[in-house]
Chain A
Amino acid sequence: MFDIATTLFSSIALLLQSGSEAAASTAAIPPKAGAALAVGLAAFGAGYAERGIGAAAVGAIAEDEDMFGRGLILTVLPETLVIFALVITFTI
């Protein structure tokens, strides 16, 4: 899991570097690419967070069906991260 994250981040660092070499006066990477990255990374983080919460929620539901509503809400809570990231896309 963490391997994937580190490779991802190092590739982003490369991307930033090559961007700055090409046009030092303007933004490091094109604004749209930046926004895409923001949403993508946020979604990635949300997915990772939901993995653990989802597993625990399914466990709780298996023991007690009444937990379904609460489990569902807790599972999608990290999804708010993606919504915040989407806000970024409107600022450009």
Chain B
Amino acid sequence: MKLRQEDGAANYEYVTARIRSRRASLFDESDYRKLVRMGPDEIARFMEESEYEREMNALGSRFSGVDLIEYALNENLGKHFDDVLNWTDGEPYGYLARYLRKFDAWNVKTALRGIYSESPPTEIDDDLIEAGELSDDLLGQLVEADSIESAVELLAGTLFSDVLADAYELYEESGILVPLENAIDRAYYTNLYAGLPSDPSRAEELYVEFVEAEIDFRNLRNALRITLSGADIDPAEFCISGGRLFDETELRQLANNPDELVARVRSSTYGEELEDGLDELDDAQDLVAFERALEVALLEYSDTLSSRYPLSVCPVLAYVLAKEREVDNIRAIARGREAGLGPDEIETELVIT
């Protein structure tokens, strides 16, 4: 995908109409209920008769079983997001392109991890999602790179070049990937915020609200993971700035005290959406269930935002989130069935709104 200039007038009406149609054709609860009771081959057949028909047919001769499902899912995800970018013009295009760089961040992280663990290039390539801004050529070179250093050099000129150059020194000192991964995430979130007009219109305000919610949820998840695992890590190191819920210093204080952290979230704007998840967390200290509740809450919050002001970029971003969740869910089902998990066990792993 090559990014073009943002020009032309915003065409929110056209884009939201198409997006809402696609949103409606995502799998719903009853589809998932059927899927968790199927074996991998049945899932493949089910997908062939749905939205994924084209990808399943195109890849069917080369792969089979769960691999086929996974490739088809990734391919379909990339196709849909490219489509959306093709339709949008003007202002929403800029926001969306910025948001979809999340896949660039994902791809770069995957490539770095692959190189670090010395996986063969074809294996790394399988896990990439072709939905970001980085060209296929560059990604190809990236997975072929023989060291982290040459991979970092290849990324010169992209969004990540500056931060990666700094983080590379830290990596050389410590020999672990964490600084590089954090740098990539930070670069992505900083870019989301960059260049917003100082006097936002209603549509822009909602974009900001959406981004803030996502950052908040991410911070919250990191903080809870650190607190509940009892690891001796400074939570501020993983804090992404820009959220509404808390900043670095607050996070550092709250991370030592899970009860206070939960109370804080309960009284925040997200309290209502997260209520069930928080209760569950209080009762069982079950982090996995809470993280799923977080995902559901974010999906619901993005839906609320998109119906509050339909002519904004929010419905599109909500669709991107929902589509991602769908792909994750189907993958979880297919992999779970392959591993012999029962329907109930798999159902607890799904994120369904």
Give me the interface of A with B, judged by CB distance under 8 Å: 52-53, 55-60, 62-64
Total number of B residues with any Cβ neighbor in A under 8 Å: 10
Residue of A nearest to B310 (CB): A56
B13, B22, B87: which contacts A56 (Cβ < 8 A)? Answer: B13
B201 proximal to A (CB < 8 A):
no
Do A59 and B22 have beta carbons less than 8 Å apart? no
- Give the CA-CA distance A63 to B17 in the complex, in Å: 9
Do A57 and B17 have beta carbons less than 8 Å apart? yes
Chain A's nearest CB lies how many Å from the CB of B103?
Answer: 23
Do A60 and B13 have beta carbons less than 8 Å apart? no
Encoded as 1 (CB less than 8 Å from any A CB) or 0, chain B from 1 to 24 comes to 000000000010111111001100
Contacts of A53 on B, CB cut-off 8 Å? 13
Contacts of A52 on B, CB cut-off 8 Å? 13
Residue of B nearest to A58 (CB): B14
Do A55 and B18 have beta carbons less than 8 Å apart? no
Contacts of B15 on A, CB cut-off 8 Å? 59
Residue of B nearest to A60 (CB): B17
Chain B's nearest CB lies how many Å from the CB of A57?
Answer: 7
- Give the CA-CA distance A27 to B13 in the complex, in Å: 42
Contacts of A56 on B, CB cut-off 8 Å? 13-14, 16-17
Residue of A nearest to B21 (CB): A63
Chain B's nearest CB lies how many Å from the CB of A68?
Answer: 13
Chain A's nearest CB lies how many Å from the CB of B331?
Answer: 25
- Give the CA-CA distance A58 to B17 in the complex, in Å: 8
Contacts of B13 on A, CB cut-off 8 Å? 52-53, 55-56, 59
List 4 A-B pairs, minimum CB-CB distance, nearest first: A59-B17, A63-B21, A55-B13, A56-B17
Chain B's nearest CB lies how many Å from the CB of A15?
Answer: 30
22 sampled A-B residue pairs with Cβ under 8 A: A52-B13, A55-B13, A55-B14, A55-B17, A56-B13, A56-B17, A57-B17, A58-B14, A59-B13, A59-B15, A59-B16, A59-B18, A59-B21, A60-B17, A60-B18, A60-B21, A62-B18, A63-B17, A63-B18, A63-B21, A63-B22, A64-B21
